[in-house]
Structure 1
Amino acid sequence: MRAVWLREFGGPEVLVPGTAPDPVPGLGQVLIDVAHANITFVETQQRAGRPGPFRVTPPLIPGNGVGGTITAVGPDVDPALIGRRVVSATGGSGGYAQRAAVDTSAPIDVPAGLALDAAVALLADGRTAGMLIDAVGVRPGDRVLVEAAAGGVGSLLVQLAAHAGARVVGAAGGARKVGLLPGLGAEVAVDYRAPDWAERVRAAVGGVDVVLDGVGGAIARTAFELLDRGGRMVSFGLASGEWAAVPAEAAAARDVTLVRPDVPPARMRAYTERALAEAAAGRLRPLIGQRFPLERAAAAHAAIESRAITGKTLLDVS
């Protein structure tokens, strides 16, 4: 089968197209013919060899999320599963390939009427966005600041917060990204590259009650200062290259809660299922900003690291 290999750490160019043996489903497994593979920011960090809890050891086929059709099952698995459209985690690797064998507990059925590419775009980002909204307890009337609001997770957060009755302030980098935000449900859209972006937020809504931080670094620290007393803040990304460095003492002094979600795997699966159902019903729209053929995985990683992309980046495999 066609696949993309990571044989050494480095820049995007170390992702090299090649071939790999077709996986064979073993006991308790199914085989998925992959139509689309998910790409996450974490995978760009793994490729570069950055330290962290998800570090990998080359050589391997990267990728932890796929969508496609079950075409074969292990000897002890019900053959009735063959033909189902599913999305699935792969266990940490093996996603950038034509086929993937996964445990039967991993795949999630894609609802009728929902395209596979949209389902893959929601596999990781949909569950993350739903979890974050619940973790900070977004309520009607809350003023919610979403950073990286034109990204894969951020674009979903804008929609979910607006559906919850919040007044959403979307912050993104660059005019093209900012222009997308009103269509997602943002009442106010600002460019956080502008030196006066925080003043623009204050002029529009005063302070904010919730910060959903997808940028980290200086942007996150400025966002923290926009929080009114009793506010809540949660970080989900580090587009700036560093996490938010908000001291616990500073948060306590202003009665701000720094939320650190701790959600069991079963609950995360439920968040994915909910996101897929909401999308199938037309109430949630994943923003697929760019897509690349499997063989151009290196270009996809380079695009993500350029920070010029919008929404979700997918690999089209078949």
Structure 2
Amino acid sequence: MNLSVWRGAVLCVVMEEFGGPEVLRARQAEDPTPGPGQVLVDVAYASVTFVETQVRSGNGPFGRPALPRVPGNGVGGRVVAVGPDVDPALMGTVVVTTTGGAGGYAERALARADEVVPVPPGLALKDAIALLADGRTALLLFRQAEVEPGEKVLVEAAAGGVGSLLVQLAVRAGARVVGAARGDRKAELVTSLGAPCVDYSKDEWLRMVRDAADGELDVVFDGVGGPIGTAAVGALRPGGRVSLYGMASGAAATLDADDLAARGIRTLGLFAAPGRAETHPLIAEALRLAADGILRPIVGQVFPLAAAAEAHAAIEARATVGKTLLAVGAPDSDR
């Protein structure tokens, strides 16, 4: 039996063409019905990512998807319907989940039942959704890098969703951490997480990093790419590690394979999307660490669902800190 409790139209944000933020328009759509293996989530918050702004512009890393499209891959809310073969005990559970790449900018969204992660008691839903993608990514990158106590670590884009978590993980591991970000607001955030912050819009930013770290770096988490990432890799000691996790500049760092090999630099990062068997436990662990007060997700700005275009514009203008969310509805889903 399909246990749907909703009928009628829902509000969503539709993208019918590629272009600037203005192509994101609020529309009414038919209420979705979960099929086999699916659940329907009454969405309270939807995650907004930098990659989604690239997809919207037509310059996404995986090509151009078919249109029209409802963007959004991460949502948090309450399960209000289940498909015919799904355990009805999921009904009413507050969860975070991915949607398979689209459909998240909506009042209700479909997801695979085996993709949902229950939100632990004591953790606010907006904090949980902030960790859905960024938490699992930060944990995976940090484990790859094998940061040791006393090592000198640079985190670029340190005021971003992933960067702010990497700063916290490295500080907690006993590393000597330096953050790099742009502007006073971001610097204040990074400092509040326990690390000095250098503004990489300044000409002497790399010298300031070396001064703050007191020498060459052991690990660089490169979330910017371009000239910033390229320069940071040059500040690594022989035998160091660089972890590539983003291209906020719009381009990858220029890495010379021969130079890296000669210096014994290991290149790490997310070169292939991890599978569910790896990501599901990482998400659950990130939520647990936040519920226990060990990780503090940074939700920097929240926009109404109908203002998704404004959220995209803010991300592209580098005017955001931490995670950007869309507040969709269902306030009773939060806790």
Q: Structure 1 length as normaliser, TM-score?
A: 0.97
Separation in 1, partners of 2:245, 2:222: 6
Tell me the equivalent position of 2:220. 211
Tell me if the contact between 1:294 and 1:316 (Cα under 8 Å) persists in the aligned partners.
yes
Give the aligned residue type for 2:302: R
Separation in 1, partners of 2:88, 2:233: 53
3-state SS, counterpart of residue 261 of structure 2 = helix
Separation in 2, partners of 1:26, 1:193: 50
3-state SS, counterpart of residue 30 of structure 2 = coil
Q: CA deviation at 1:258?
A: 1.1
Please state if 1:88 is matched with 2:85.
no
Please state if 1:300 is matched with 2:311.
yes
Tell me the equivalent position of 1:50. 59
3-state SS, counterpart of residue 17 of structure 2 = coil
Give the aligned residue type for 1:37: A
3-state SS, counterpart of residue 215 of structure 1 = coil
State the Cα deviation string for residues 250-285 of structure 1 (Å, max 9, x = none).
Answer: 111211111144543311221111110000001101
Please state if 1:291 is matched with 2:299.
no
Tell me the equivalent position of 1:309. 320
Separation in 2, partners of 1:145, 1:285: 19
Q: CA deviation at 1:27?
A: 1.4
Please state if 1:128 is matched with 2:137.
yes
Is there any run of 5+ residues in structure 2 with no aligned partner, and where?
Answer: 1-9, 330-335
Tell me the equivalent position of 1:78. 87
State the Cα deviation string for residues 127-155 of structure 1 (Å, max 9, x = none).
Answer: 11001101111111111100000011100
Is there any run of 5+ residues in structure 1 with no aligned partner, and where?
Answer: none
Tell me the equivalent position of 2:235. 226
CA RMSD across the alignment: 1.1
Tell me the equivalent position of 1:200. 208
Tell me the equivalent position of 1:191. 199
| Equivalent pairs, count | 317
Q: CA deviation at 1:80?
A: 1.2
Runs of 4+ in 1 over 4 A off after TM superposition: none
Q: CA deviation at 1:230?
A: 0.6
State the Cα deviation string for residues 197-256 of structure 1 (Å, max 9, x = none).
Answer: 111122222111000001000100111111011100011111111011112111112111
Say which of 278, 281, 284 aligns to 1:267.
Answer: 278
State the Cα deviation string for residues 97-137 of structure 1 (Å, max 9, x = none).
Answer: 00012111111110011011000000000011001101111
Q: CA 1:286/1:51 → structure 2, altered by over 3 Å: closer, same or farther?
A: closer
Tell me if the contact between 1:201 and 1:207 (Cα under 8 Å) persists in the aligned partners.
no
Give the aligned residue type for 2:200: Y
3-state SS, counterpart of residue 19 of structure 1 = strand
Say which of 245, 250, 258 aligns to 2:259.
Answer: 250
Separation in 2, partners of 1:268, 1:81: 20
Separation in 1, partners of 2:238, 2:142: 19
Separation in 1, partners of 2:107, 2:247: 30
Give the aligned residue type for 1:50: N
* Aligned positions of 1:145-160 closer than 5 A: 145-160=154-169
Separation in 1, partners of 2:269, 2:83: 39
3-state SS, counterpart of residue 149 of structure 1 = coil
Please state if 1:7 is matched with 2:16.
yes
Tell me the equivalent position of 1:119. 128
Tell me if the contact between 2:115 and 2:280 (Cα under 8 Å) persists in the aligned partners.
no
Tell me if the contact between 2:119 and 2:125 (Cα under 8 Å) persists in the aligned partners.
yes
3-state SS, counterpart of residue 308 of structure 1 = coil
